[in-house]
Chain A
């Protein structure tokens, strides 16, 4: 006898089963469609945004993220549980689909059966295992959510419905199988190919055939009802993420990473800039909220949230979508809370980890833009003063612009105005130009270049702030003014390559300036120096020393430069003891997002938290690659009273110290 089973066994073939079953299905799908339309109408309140370019690449990314669960798996534990559950459920879905295909189409219409023989055995055992894995993972997730209760994980009515419904569907499925097997398969070799079903069958066997048939029939319809409830409830509950998160992969931001969307400030038609209402955001900004599963991974990593500030990236995204669904005319900024909006350091930890490809930072910047450009509001007087300083002197520190190049006076470095024939333009940035501590980094970088025989020029007093902190604070007008002036200048000198020692300058010149027809090559000093070391143009003494290394947000997460700085440290003899939070998980220093201009008035100090993490490695030196980080760590080390234990150094200083003096 060929291995197979009778589909619709005990339930009945033909119209008495199929008609109510398909009527229920139509009802469920109709309910799903009805609510989906309402949700889509809510998303469409947002402005248009094209996210269909490079469709093939988008589809590949979507399938990879969905089927392989690649983003979900970035966090072990719950990530693995979710992925296994997903795969289990996916197999069950496919299995059910095959049954429908055979019973209601190929067999019904053409008499073709494919669920038989070896394929049926495989089908049977795979689905049994899939089911039991799904139950086990669901149970694990239930324990986590309701018993372990990780900090910050909020459980809503949706979560209860989802756990209950999924358990009921999975268990009732096995009851149906067990009841059927108890009558038809017990004692046959076929039963071994449904190991879990066999367990249920053995448990039920004592009931006798008549009762078993009743249990089977009732449970079958109950199971069907549950599945239809599941389908119908998708758009009403967090089940929606099956569709919305998948779609969010399709519509994900495809970079360049951390490049903000520009604003057309000359737009005569625009009566408002930035986002004050839900209609000022794009549809994707609203949709993100329904793609979010409130897994809180962003919140766990947010430097603001972790220092008792009023920002949770997860809640902000939820607040936005709730406004769109419930109160579309509401004041969006009030709904999200101004203090939360100002607390963001744009460190991108949220977006980097988000398993749903939600884009948090752009929304915050859009709301900041409204506050600054339409209301003239800043998080504090000191920020407004920094803006005015930048307008007058081209730097937020308020130091006379004419002294910008003075740090280089004794180094034999000329400005491009004096000599435009250079190998590289060193775009120094405000902190390395004016701040006593950071001037040492500029000088160290020059020493390294000179040792390698690289001819460096600077812009001197003609250089202006790249505009990054202003832009991240929402002052798009000032940013565009500064960008325009810098670009015109750099292009006029015919510069071939720009190197920066500030990752904020780097990210801005390398990505944001491209909006203004800026096509000069831009490189971070870390990768530039790594090349010089690798090619032997810089020789380093490698006497060994211990340190820990901090990935700045703008070199790390924004540009994925993780190894070049580490290679440089090792080339100089450094032994790096990593902090727990390193590379893409690195914890911000507090100064990104224009927060370098602002006092940190809410919660505890981010920089102190980070410096303490560095101190926990017992390393005597904290090496970083960013003037803002360095400034924050110098301050944080004092604040944490760790002066005796650890010092803060920039990578350029370390390298310059380890230069092998030639001759």
Chain B
């Protein structure tokens, strides 16, 4: 089985974000980088599938500057077989459609049986890339999965819906799934696998080789929203406070309606 997992390197969300000089994205300075959380679930699930079916080959793909190779190494250490790095120093200015097109262009003639992506990235959060890749490759797509099973050439995946309900969706191969929190607990790479990862094949493409489409959208402006009014501190006797609170909840919210 040929499996592809697509990952993105994102800033650690604990970092202090500043808007960049152009005002179109965040500034790179002083950020720590890691694998997009949802992509970690995708990598873990891809490796579990690989382990399940045995005879298989798992490629991890990432787009970005040289820096993303560090994150790819983690995916390789977790158990991917080879890496494909699409070198692009200005990946942050690519729209989801362009990113999806790059992936589809790479995957188009490779006959992947299964493609895993995160359901969205922690920084841009468009949630489009996986779904667009499926569309561009004419594959069935199951999005935001929280359970995954594969048997007899068929994928069965559970999706989390509103209100705590779940849907069980199945499809044949080839297929693409986008992975949601709760799908699995990503493994911690073992030392022998970290060492092996250093020697695994890492193919490099320049983005110009794979980008064949024009952008269909652009980010006009990135900014911090204006600060809304701060919290309200009520003081005084407890009985009065309760009355005041009830009044505020009645007047200004819908919780008691």
Contacts and interface: CB of A to CB of B under 8 A. Distances in A.
Interface of A: 265, 271, 273, 372-378, 381, 384, 387-388, 391-393, 398-403, 461, 476-477
A454 B206 CA distance: 54
A392 B33 contact: yes
Contacts of A392: 12, 32-34
A400 B14 contact: yes
Nearest to A384: B188
Contacts of B16: 400, 402-403
Given A392-B32, A392-B33, A400-B32, A373 B14 contact: no
Contacts of A373: 190-191
Given A393-B12, A403-B16, A374 B33 contact: no
Nearest to A461: B30
Given A393-B32, A400-B30, A400-B32, A374 B12 contact: no
A479 B197 CA distance: 19
Interface residues of B, number: 18
B192 A477 contact: no
Contacts of B194: 477
Contacts of A403: 16
A461 B33 CA distance: 15
A52 B185 CA distance: 47
Contacts of A265: 191, 195
B32 A477 contact: no
A376 B187 contact: yes
Most chain A CB atoms below 10 A, which of B12, B30, B189, B191:
B191
23 contacts: A271-B192, A273-B191, A373-B190, A374-B190, A374-B191, A374-B192, A375-B190, A377-B188, A388-B34, A388-B188, A392-B12, A392-B32, A393-B12, A393-B14, A399-B14, A400-B12, A400-B15, A400-B16, A400-B32, A402-B16, A402-B30, A402-B31, A402-B32
Contacts of A273: 191-192
Contacts of A388: 34, 188
Closest 5 CB pairs of A and B: A402-B30, A376-B188, A373-B191, A400-B15, A400-B14
Nearest to B11: A400
A387 B188 contact: yes
Give the dominant DSSP class at A's interface: helix
A72 B25 CA distance: 69
Contacts of B30: 400-402, 461
B120 to A, nearest CB: 20
A248 B133 CA distance: 66
Interface of B: 12, 14-16, 30-34, 185, 187-192, 194-195
B188 A378 contact: yes
Nearest to B189: A376
B12 A381 contact: no
Given A387-B188, A393-B14, A400-B15, 12 more contacts: A273-B191, A376-B187, A378-B188, A392-B12, A392-B32, A392-B33, A392-B34, A393-B12, A398-B12, A402-B16, A461-B30, A477-B194
B191 A401 contact: no
Nearest to B12: A392
The CB with the most chain A CB atoms within 10 A, among B16, B190, B194, is that of B190
A376 B15 contact: no
Contacts of B15: 400, 402
A391 B189 CA distance: 12
A508 to B, nearest CB: 20
Contacts of A402: 15-16, 30-32
Nearest to B185: A381
A395 to B, nearest CB: 10
A477 B33 CA distance: 19
Contacts of B189: 376
A398 B191 contact: no
Contacts of B185: 381
A273 B194 CA distance: 13
A392 to B, nearest CB: 5
Nearest to B30: A402
Contacts of A400: 12, 14-16, 30-32
Given A376-B187, A381-B185, A392-B12, A401 B32 contact: yes
A477 B188 CA distance: 12
Nearest to A270: B192
A384 B191 CA distance: 15
Nearest to A393: B32
A477 B14 contact: no
Contacts of B32: 392-393, 400-402
A583 to B, nearest CB: 38
Which of A384, A387, A402, A403 has most B Cβ within 10 Å? A402
B129 to A, nearest CB: 23
A120 B30 CA distance: 86
A590 to B, nearest CB: 24
Nearest to B16: A400
Contact of B191 (A378, A399, A461, A477): A477
Contacts of B33: 392
A265 to B, nearest CB: 7
A463 to B, nearest CB: 14
A407 B67 CA distance: 29
Contacts of B31: 400, 402
Nearest to B187: A376
A384 B34 CA distance: 15
B80 to A, nearest CB: 15
B116 to A, nearest CB: 20
A550 to B, nearest CB: 32
Contacts of A387: 188
Contacts of A477: 191, 194
A402 B14 CA distance: 10
A401 B34 CA distance: 13
Interface centre among A372, A374, A376 (most CB of B within 10 A): A376
Contacts of A378: 188
A376 B187 CA distance: 7
A647 to B, nearest CB: 27
The residue in B188, B190, B194 that gathers the most chain A C-beta atoms within 10 A of its C-beta is B188
A530 B16 CA distance: 39
Nearest to A266: B195
A375 B191 CA distance: 9
B214 to A, nearest CB: 35
A398 B32 CA distance: 10
A464 to B, nearest CB: 11
